[in-house]
């Protein structure tokens, strides 16, 4: 993942475009003058909470589109056909996508789903045939797979009573913003290069419109308070992730 790999990425001209985000609360000027602001407290807190949750919202949207949105090599970030140059100069297709449902039913089922993904990631190589040293450490799942994922990494034995070889191998992150009930993702977040990128052009900042001469205040007696930011989400190296749609 050093200089040579980074330089080779320059040819792809991959870019992430920033987007504008905002959350606004309107306050009636009469309520300010009458010191009647209790109603607006929860609204203001929700605007602040929205700003706090923005990074997670952006990244989960990126994850949800990972199997249908191209990354730097032109293939979908989670795909069966990533082009990788081999030592002899030829091109080969490398997959970071599976179809197996996450399972703890038997040792064979766990090996075919989680085990196969973990092994494939650890075997990813660079164009000179050297292992990239991928170390999967996060299992990202929707709420529907939360219990299965926790059983996979915490139970001493699988459902059929056989020893669980994957106990303690990763940390489980369960997120209700994942829209598929069957898809799951194995990630390596141990390195400086991450699978998903949260790009910040402007951190969330507090803004207000309270000038008596502004249109909102003059015409509608509205003071406006809120938070705004310029950020974006995107994809890093596909080698840092494995995804399964859980269809088989």
Cβ atoms 1, 191 nearer than 8 A: yes
From first to last of its 248 residues, the chain has per-residue pLDDT tens of 445 445 444 545 555 556 666 666 667 766 665 555 565 566 666 666 766 777 888 899 999 999 999 998 889 999 999 998 888 888 899 999 999 999 999 999 999 999 999 999 999 998 888 899 999 999 999 999 999 999 999 999 999 999 999 999 999 999 999 999 999 999 999 988 889 988 877 777 777 776 767 776 666 677 777 777 777 888 999 999 999 999 99
* C-alpha–C-alpha distance, residues 186 and 114, integer Å: 8
Kindly give, in sequence order, each residue whose CB lies less than 8 Å from that of residue 63, ignoring residues fewer than 6 positions away. 140, 178, 185, 196
pTM over 0.85: no
- What residue segments make up the domains of the chain, in order of their start? 18-192+202-210+220-244
* C-alpha–C-alpha distance, residues 151 and 181, integer Å: 17
Please give the structure tokens belonging to residue 180: 């598929």
Return the exposure string of 172-183: e unless at least 16 CB atoms fall within 10 Å of the residue's CB, then b.
Answer: bebeeebebebb
* C-alpha–C-alpha distance, residues 47 and 22, integer Å: 9
């Amino acid at each position: 993942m050093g200089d040579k790999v980074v330089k080779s990425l320059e040819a792809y001209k991959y870019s992430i475009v920033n987007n504008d985000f905002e959350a606004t609360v309107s306050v009636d000027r009469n309520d300010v003058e009458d010191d009647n602001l209790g109603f607006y407290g929860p609204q203001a807190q929700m605007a602040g909470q929205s700003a706090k949750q923005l990074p997670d919202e952006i990244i989960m949207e990126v994850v949800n589109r990972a199997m249908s949105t191209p990354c730097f090599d032109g293939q979908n970030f989670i795909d069966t056909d990533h082009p990788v140059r081999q030592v002899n100069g030829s091109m080969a297709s490398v997959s970071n996508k599976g179809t197996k449902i996450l399972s703890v039913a038997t040792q064979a089922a766990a090996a075919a789903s989680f085990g196969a993904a973990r092994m494939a990631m650890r075997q990813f190589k660079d164009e000179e045939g050297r292992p990239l040293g991928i170390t999967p450490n996060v299992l990202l799942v929707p709420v529907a797979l939360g219990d299965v994922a926790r059983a996979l990494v915490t139970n001493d034995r699988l459902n059929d009573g056989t020893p669980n070889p994957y106990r303690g191998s990763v940390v489980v992150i369960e997120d209700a913003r994942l829209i598929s009930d069957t898809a799951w993702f194995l990630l390596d977040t141990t390195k400086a290069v991450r699978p998903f990128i949260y790009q910040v052009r402007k951190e969330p900042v507090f803004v207000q419109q309270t000038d008596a001469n502004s249109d909102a205040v003059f015409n509608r007696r509205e003071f406006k308070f809120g938070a705004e930011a310029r950020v974006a989400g995107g994809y890093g190296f596909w080698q840092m992730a494995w995804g399964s749609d859980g269809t088989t």
